[in-house]
Amino acid sequence: MDRALPTSPPLFASVDDVVARLGETGYLANKATATSVFLADRLDKPLLIEGPAGVGKTELARAVAQSTGAELIRLQCYEGVDEARALYEWNHAKQILRIQSSSAGHQDWDETKLDVFSEEFLLARPLLQAIRREDPTVLLIDETDKADVEIEGLLLEVLSDFAVTIPELGTITATRKPFVILTSNATRELSEALKRRCLYLHLDFPDADLELRILASRVPELPEAIAEQMVRTIGVLRAMQLKKLPSVAETIDWGRTVLALGMDTLDDDAVRATLGVVLKHQSDQIKAAAELRLN
C-alpha cells in the first residue's frame, strides 16, 4: 500500500486573506499572485515562480513566511550545488576525531561505526531541515535554474515523497509538509517533470500603478510628484536593452536616496548624480544618460 503523504493545515483562508496578510508585511500582491499563493497552500503543491531578476520572487517567499509566522529555510542554488549541500552530509572532521579517540581507548570497530554514523555527526542541509521541522515552514529553493540538471532529480524525489532515506539512519519522513516555493530567472528550461509537480506563476515587473503603491508603502515620506517621475523613469529604463534592468528593490533604494540627499526635485542633475543607485553597469549608465538626454 502506498504511504500517505503528510499534509499541512491551510495557512490562508482565502485569496483576499493572502492579499491582506502579505500587504501587512509590505508586499503588495496583485490578484494573480495572491491566487497562486492561495492555491499552492490549499492544494498542498509547490509553487514555481519564474521571471526576470529583481521582480520580487524571493521577497514573496519571505512575505509568505512572515505573514504566517512560518520559519523560512532557504536553499540557494548555484552551479555545482550537490546533495551534500542541499540534503545532508556527515561531519567528517568530527568523525575522524571520534575514531581516533575510540582507537586509543581500544573500542570495538562495530561499536565505533554505529557511533560515528549517528545523529550527533549528521549535518542537515536545507532540504532535510525543512522535512524534519514540525512547525510551519516555508522552504525556498532559490534560483533553481542555476543548479545543474542533475540536482532536479533530487528535488523531484524530495517533493514527491517528502521523505529522505539515509542509509545509516533509515528513512526520515516529514510529519508536516513545508510550503515550498521554487524560483527561477529562466536562464534555462527546468525539466517538465519538475514543472508537473508545481503550480506555476510568472512574475514580471509591476505596472506603474502598482510600483507607485509599493514606493508609497516603503518610502512614505517621498513626495508624490517625485515618486511618479521616478516610476516613469524606471519604466523607460526597463524598456531599454540593458545588461541589468532596475529591480523593484532598486526603485525603493532610489526613493530613499533622494530623501537622504534632501532633494526636493528630480531634475537632470539629480538623476545623473543618483543613476548608480539603479544601474550598476557603466555601459548601462551611458545608454541611460543618452536615452534620458542627461548629457
Query: For the chain, first and last CA: distance in Å?
Result: 72
2: number of Cβ within 10 Å = 5
Answer yes or no: is pLDDT of 1 > 70: no
* 271 pLDDT higher than 70: yes
Nearest in space to 256 (alpha carbons), one of 206, 220, 290: 220
Give the closest residue to 73 by CA, choosing from 142, 144, 22.
Answer: 142
Which cell goes with 154?
533530487
Per-residue DSSP letter, 170: E
The mean per-residue pLDDT over the stretch 111-120 comes to 68
Share of the chain above pLDDT 70, in %: 92
Q: What is the pLDDT of residues 152-201, one digit of tens each?
A: 989 998 888 898 888 888 888 888 999 999 999 988 999 999 999 999 99
DSSP element (H, E) containing 141: strand 137-142
> Is residue 132 scored above 70 in pLDDT?
yes
Secondary structure of residue 89 in the 3-state scheme: strand
